[in-house]
Amino acid sequence: MLGMIVLLVIFFLVRGMVRIKSGRSGVNIVRFNAFERFVHWMTATCFVLQALTGLNITFGKVALLPLIGPNAFSSWSLAAKYVHNYLSFPFTLGVILILFMWIGGNIPNRVDVEWLERGGGIIGDSEPPAYRFNAGQKMIYWIVVLGGAAVAITGYLLMFPFYGTTIAGMQLAQMVHGTVAVLFVAVMIAHAYIGTIGMEGAFEAMGEGTVDLNWAKEHHSLWVQEEQARTGPKQIQGQPSATPAE
Ligand code: HEM
Task: Give the pLDDT confidence score for residue 232 in this predicted structure.
Answer: 73
Contact 227, 29 (CB under 8 A): yes
Mean pLDDT, the chain, whole residue set: 93
Q: Is 196 in the pocket of ligand 1 (CB under 6 A)?
A: yes
Task: Give the pLDDT confidence score for residue 233 in this predicted structure.
Answer: 63
Ligand 1 centre and the CA of 194: distance in Å?
9
Task: Give the pLDDT confidence score for residue 150 in this predicted structure.
Answer: 98
Intervals of the chain under pLDDT 70: 123-125, 233-246
Task: Give the pLDDT confidence score for residue 127 in this predicted structure.
Answer: 84
Ligand 1 centre and the CA of 86: distance in Å?
22
What stretch of H or E contains 47? helix 34-63
| Full-model pTM | 0.93
Task: Give the pLDDT confidence score for residue 235 in this predicted structure.
Answer: 56
Q: Is 76 in the pocket of ligand 1 (CB under 6 A)?
A: no
Task: Give the pLDDT confidence score for residue 230 in this predicted structure.
Answer: 87
* Rounded to 5°, angle at Cα 225 from 224 and 231: 85
Protein residue whose Cα sits closest to atom 9 of ligand 1:
195
C-alpha dist (Å) from residue 230 to 131, 145, 208, 235, 236: 14, 28, 22, 10, 10
CA–CA distance, 212 with 177 (Å, rounded to integer):
39
Ligand 1 centre and the CA of 167: distance in Å?
36
Contacts of 152 (CB under 8 A, 6+ apart): 88, 91, 92, 95
